[in-house]
Amino acid sequence: MTTLVLTPMKVSLAQLERIYREGLAATLDPACKPAVELAASRIAEAAAGSEAVYGVNTGFGKLASVKVAPKDTAQLQRNLILSHCCGVGDAMPEAHVRLMMTLKLLSFGRGASGVRWELVALLEGMLREGVTPEVPAQGSVGASGDLAPLAHMAAAMMGEGKARFQGALMPASAALAKAGLTPVQLGPKEGLACINGTQFSTAYALAGLFEGWRAAQTALVVSALSTDAIMGSTAPLQPEIHTLRGHAGQIEAAAVMRDLLDGSEIRESHREGDTRVQDPYCIRCQPQVTGAAMDVMRQAASTLIIEANAATDNPLVLTEAGLIVSGGNFHAEPVGFAADMIALALSEIGAIAQRRVALMVDPTLSFDLPPFLTPNPGLNSGLMIAEVTTAALMSENKHLANPTVTDSTPTSANQEDHVSMAAHGARRLMQMVRNLENILGVELLCAAQGVEFRAPLATSGPLQSVISRLRESIATLGDDRYMADDLANAAALVRDGDVTRAAEAKLPELG
């Protein structure tokens, strides 16, 4: 297995995306070790001392005023993890868990958590050997850390709970043993360091960002195909229009669409004599909408890469100042805002794509395409209900896009009285992306069908390559047939990046 060596504060989105998509292992740069061990020594000194230090020799949350004897500090950490394993619901996908573990490694690598290098080595070993904790996905409110899900991760490191190894779910102790790894006995503060942090929320937000960006790139390609299908104008893609406004995403989106449509016989056929003065907004304003959404996603990305490289547990060991200080870096408000931003972007990309689908199936708006894109309307319904499905998914995404970070409720006997709700704010993103992929898949089916109705006129070379790739998986729709498989296969082409690869276009990059 390929292993990436990560240096905290220098890790990139591209590296994290490789870990997420390719299942790569990760290790910390060995240069991190002295700082990690120095902070651990400060915690050991505090544990042996008489002064109360939160999370080292005290209880937790509302119980922080309860002093714990030095002989009980190891049991304190074990009890903390076991009592906090309160996650419910479906298990996190393995790719998300591995990304979460990697983010925890990065946080430890900042040298402010006070954990021994032994914990770092165990996380590295689990990533290398493929031991993946079974982590229920519900139970975090995104403040005081993602306590419940991270506790399940930490429990597996202790040999408690369950983990997956070589495709099988088993007791974590067995998984570690089969992988040749030894469970850790947590020392002072180490349990708290494992669960105080935003790594669950950040992992889900990053996964939504990575998948959402691919969908946004695909939307540019498919929307160009839709433009040709309805014989739309390329005049609104004129570069000066977008330069005059100045937004980077809009400029890039227009450039991609211009390149994709260049050389289209369909476009050239109606430059003169077209009685339409303007196209509907879903065609004319594609760069302004999809480009703006991509700008928003980039803003969210800038927040998430900072968070990915951050120390977010509590208390933090400030070795240069000689202090162990309680703060609030575990509060996932930045991640919550980023997740809400991504959700808004996904919703809007899907909203305008759905209007293009509606445009193409409506004979009064599609510029002479047959009703519902079937060659024999009446006897056949064609893509009528596929469009209805996109409307349902668009509406669902609109509801899911409502902000979560504005919600809060006090927890832990009012000690933790404002929380971010970043966890489910980030977790909903994957469902939104899947909905968007289905919308774009239907748009792809409609656009390809529409372009084929324009024969003998041909679309551009890149867009014809997209249609050719589609037809390798899904035949042109003639008489009505069972449609669910077509929709699923089209969405898969979007999700797997086949559409953008077929176009061979220079697409906007995330970072």
Residue corresponding to tokens 């995330």: 510
Q: Which residues contact 9 (CB under 8 A, 6 or more apart)?
A: 110, 309
Rounded Cα–Cα distance for residues 241 and 504 (Å): 25
Neighbours of 449 (CB within 10 A): 24
Tell me how many degrees the CA angle 337-506-508 measures, rounded to the nearest 5.
Answer: 10
Token pair belonging to 146 = 């993602």
DSSP assignment letter at 415? T
Contact assessment for residue 74 and residue 189, using Cβ atoms and an 8 Å cutoff: no
Token pair belonging to 109 = 């690598």
How buried is residue 30: exposed, middle or buried, by Cβ count under 10 Å (0-12/13-18/19+)?
exposed
Evaluated on CA atoms 176, 177, 179, 185, the torsion sign reads: positive
Rounded Cα–Cα distance for residues 161 and 19 (Å): 24
Name the β-bridge partners of 4.
Answer: 26
Concatenated DSSP letters for 220-234? HHHHHHHHHHTT--S
Contact assessment for residue 454 and residue 231, using Cβ atoms and an 8 Å cutoff: yes
Name the β-bridge partners of 3.
Answer: 25
Q: Is residue 54 among the annotated active site residues? A: yes
The identity of residue 235, as a single letter, is: A
Identify the active-site residue in 54, 204, 281, 482.
Answer: 54
- Catalytic residue numbers read 54
